[in-house]
Chain A
């Protein structure tokens, strides 16, 4: 919890005057979302849709990263504290909560040593990739349900409990849909690999549990579908829904091979200079050399002794390879070598919206589990064998062996500490942002805006020049509808694009105020993540929510 607050330290310095300088767009968007949750509860409106942004067409909130599972229950707090305080409070809380549930999972089901569970849990909650997402994307930080989901999936085979386990899993999955569907999909893929890896290694046990497992899975799927059917229908077929996203360009976003051994920017050992070559948008692995070396050594040592370590190894290999993207990229340079995604068609449903680099979040989770296993294994060195499960009786001569191995314990602890300490997070970077005008905050606008009319801020709210004016809406309880905004909606062909109105030809779909864009620095989208854009005064940001990459004047 303390670490969660520490990560948000720069925000707390002036919570009403600052946003993430890495992703001011997404930071503002999530403030707007907290306001949306509060607005929906206060006015008892359907939270799956809003017409307070992009008026009069509105925005499909299921088809955007609306975080309803958080903003709705926290609506009373948002009303009390305002969306800015809520954002900083929630971000720190979500990091800590994920570390907490991960600790619970590890200590309850995988390791004996509490310290081992603490190390693994802290890594799962505060991994470099997660901290990097914390720059504006609380939905990728809100992973507190995922350890619980994984535990339930792996317990589905327990004899006699399929109904109960299935119901709990179904409820958890349904709830996760309202937090982050993308992470749910990644978790499901990881669980699939875990179950397959287990089945191959323990075929007899798998056969024995298969019936119960399938029954539990059926119950879980049925319940999740029942609870989430309407919202999911709304997402894909409701008003302002869309098909596909930016023509599948995100398939290009593979993880750079050099990224695995680089320290992430917001870690103790990290350096902003890394963004000059790779990692401008997302830093999902970014383990650094020490952790990569430790993982390899730990896998070599543990893989023959421990089933969980073998499964972690399978996860790491499978998801690392899958994350490479259509072309192998090394240190910012795209090589001619084809990656796995070059064999995947760009228009495959659902997969078309996936980003290969994010598959490495599963690798990060497996590395976290591996850290816990490593610490746990070290803590058992030189201890009485009675500690160990599956060893029925002590053998003679064992004390001699344990005393010789005692030195391994501090070595193991030190190795894990050396690998993890450089990854200790730094407070996230923040920047000042101008507050809305007094005319807006004090309600001076009210006499001018009759019911059903919009307030048109200049520039029109958007993720580029209209960012400050989008915040006018977010910070005043969304009491007036605004045109434009920052969201994903359908274009005239029904394809998902950023903040574009429907029913108009593309050429005129931007508002008449477009000329205010500076000619010197037109906003542009660049497909290749490794390119560096301009210099002096220009700044990159990726809108991770929308996954666009834009280059703008800061």
Chain B
């Protein structure tokens, strides 16, 4: 899985990863991209 925590450029990073692999979920204090379905 891909995880983005608090970061000075968090918004840009979230947009970038979203464009690459889809929409994240907000879990606890991070953004999570669960890619298990993608990588098999």
Contacts and interface: CB of A to CB of B under 8 A. Distances in A.
Contacts of B32: 439, 448
Given A440-B30, A448-B36, A458-B17, A516 B9 contact: yes
A458 B2 contact: yes
A459 interface: yes
A455 interface: yes
Contact of A449 (B1, B12, B28): B1
B4 A458 contact: yes
Interface string A440-472: 101011001110010111110000000011001
B22 interface: no
A439 B36 contact: no
Contacts of B1: 445, 448-449, 453, 455-456
The 10 closest A-B pairs by CB, nearest first: A437-B5, A439-B28, A458-B4, A448-B1, A439-B30, A456-B2, A437-B30, A437-B29, A438-B29, A444-B28
B16 to A, nearest CB: 6
Interface in B1-40: 1-7, 9, 12-13, 16-17, 20, 27-30, 32, 34, 36, 39
A174 B32 CA distance: 46
A343 interface: no
A459 B12 CA distance: 11
A449 B39 CA distance: 12
Nearest to A482: B3
Q: Which of B3, B5, B28 counts the most A-chain CB atoms under 10 A from its CB?
A: B3
B3 A445 contact: yes
A282 B22 CA distance: 45
A512 interface: yes
B28 A516 contact: no
Interface of A: 434, 436-440, 442, 444-445, 448-450, 453, 455-459, 468-469, 472, 512-513, 515-516
Contacts, number: 64
A484 to B, nearest CB: 13
Given A448-B36, A450-B36, A457 B6 contact: no
**Which of B2, B5, B13 counts the most chain A CB atoms within 10 A?**
B5
Which residue, of A439, A440, A458, A512, has the highest number of chain B Cβ atoms within 10 A? Answer: A458
Contacts of B3: 437, 439-440, 445, 455-458
Contacts of A436: 5
Contacts of B36: 448, 450, 453
A450 B17 CA distance: 21
Contacts of B27: 439, 444
27 contacts: A434-B6, A437-B3, A437-B6, A437-B28, A438-B29, A439-B27, A439-B28, A439-B29, A439-B32, A440-B5, A440-B30, A442-B28, A444-B27, A448-B32, A453-B1, A453-B36, A455-B3, A456-B2, A457-B2, A457-B5, A458-B7, A459-B7, A468-B7, A512-B20, A515-B16, A516-B9, A516-B16
A448 to B, nearest CB: 4
A450 B39 CA distance: 12
A367 to B, nearest CB: 44
Given A444-B28, A448-B36, A459-B13, 5 more contacts: A438-B28, A439-B5, A457-B4, A472-B5, A513-B13
A456 B1 CA distance: 6
Nearest to A469: B5
Contacts of A468: 5, 7
